[in-house]
Amino acid sequence: MKNSALAGGGLALGFSGFTKLATAETESALPPYLHIASDGGIHLGVPSSEMGQGTHTTLAMLVAEELEVEMAQIRHIETLHHPDFKNIYLRELAPKFNFQTTGGSCSIQSWHQPFRKLGATARELLRSAAALHWSVPVAECIAENGRVEHSSSGRRLGYGELAQSASRLTPPDNLVLKSPEQFRLLGKPVPRWDTPGKVNGTARFGTDVDLPGMLYGTVKHCPVCGDK
């Protein structure tokens, strides 16, 4: 996984290749998978489009579960195009499917583990940053609800306060992901993010796009059945 500080401050994480985590010097060197801003806001870039199947909600859940934040703390999510977003599941089935796509019920199959590792990596970087700040063992630093707390003294720092320091650290090689028994979000009912917009009319679909000078195309069908 790549780790970088953005110009506006905070911690940014992305992948090198499909699933490897490594460090990067500049924002342009990585796809913006996860950005924790200095004000604590969490922004998430995902490889799959939201087409009514709940993909954005589920991918956010994977990150939030391991990052130890609530869903409401993820302020923004968007689908981004990037070479590292090629569909992992389809690529393994057939090399010719080496491209970014949404379909075939494979978004979660492809990105379940990478996005959990994404959240877990950010969590461990933030815990390490807190341990360095307080000069205490990392084992005494507990990540919970968007902040890190020192178990002995009760001192706390929010993720936003630690993000810049965490961006200077090297992502850990060995991550321990949660067991199903530890899940707070995964496997539990969570309201889908795309539902309110569909109900109140604020959701924007392709047919809602209207650009200056835009042309329209349609298929002209024969008016007589069976004719050419």
- In whole angstroms, how large is the CA radius of gyration of the chain? 21
**What does the pLDDT look like over 63-105, one tens digit per residue?**
999 999 999 999 888 888 777 777 777 667 766 667 777 777 7
pLDDT in tens, 29-75: 455 589 999 999 999 988 888 888 889 999 999 999 999 999 999 98
- E strands, 52-172, are 74-79, 141-144, 147-150, 156-158
Q: What is the arrangement of strands in the sheet containing 147-150, beginning at the earlier edge strand? A: 141-144, 147-150, 156-158
What is residue 93's three-state secondary structure? Answer: helix
Check residue 106 and give its pLDDT: 79
Q: Where are the domains of the chain?
A: 2-208
Under a CB-based contact definition with an 8 Å cutoff, are residues 156 and 145 in contact? no
Residue showing tokens 């939201």: 50
Reported as type and span, the H/E element at residue 133 is helix 107-134
Domain 2-208 has CATH 3.30.365.10: yes
Given this model, what pLDDT does residue 104 score? 75
- pTM of the complete model: 0.80
Residues 161, 167, 168, CA angle at the centre, nearest 5°? 115
